[in-house]
Amino acid sequence: DQQVKQNSPSLSVQEGRISILNCDYTNSMFDYFLWYKKYPAEGPTFLISISSIKDKNEDGRFTVFLNKSAKHLSLHIVPSQPGDSAVYFCAASGGVTNAGKSTFGDGTTLTVKP
């Protein structure tokens, strides 16, 4: 049973446009959500996170939206740049009360074309 799903394995956008990456989850106990970016031959790096008490968090060109009722979150990148081309993983954790395990989706490969 995959508790965190990224249904789009790949996404291609033009430089300067918006990239929208989506993620769905099934476990209501998830309390904290994160996005990571991964380049080949490197470990994932943290990008942005959101607590379940919020519905939006912004950091520069990156914004994460959380819809708890739909158990859905999305990552918006505006404007997209070629250097954003990477694999993006959505992850969820139980927060402070259930620490110690993050559940990851399978990833979405983003390609930003110049």
Residues forming contacts to other proteins in the complex (CB under 8 A) are 4, 6, 31-32, 34, 36, 41-46, 49, 89, 91, 93-96, 98-107
In the complex, the smallest distance separating the C-beta of residue 111 from other proteins, rounded to whole angstroms, is: 16
Residue 60 or 114: the one with the smaller Cβ distance to other proteins is 60
State how far the Cα of 55 lies from the Cα of 51, in Å rounded to an integer.
8
Nearest approach, Cβ of residue 39 and other proteins (Å): 10
Residue 13 or 87: the one with the smaller Cβ distance to other proteins is 87
Q: In the bound complex, what is the minimum distance in angstroms from residue 112's beta carbon to other proteins?
A: 21
**27 residue type, one letter:** N
CA distances from 87 to 29, 35, 53, 107 (A): 26, 10, 27, 6
As to burial, measured by CB atoms within 10 angstroms (0-12 exposed, 13-18 middle, 19+ buried), residue 95 is: middle
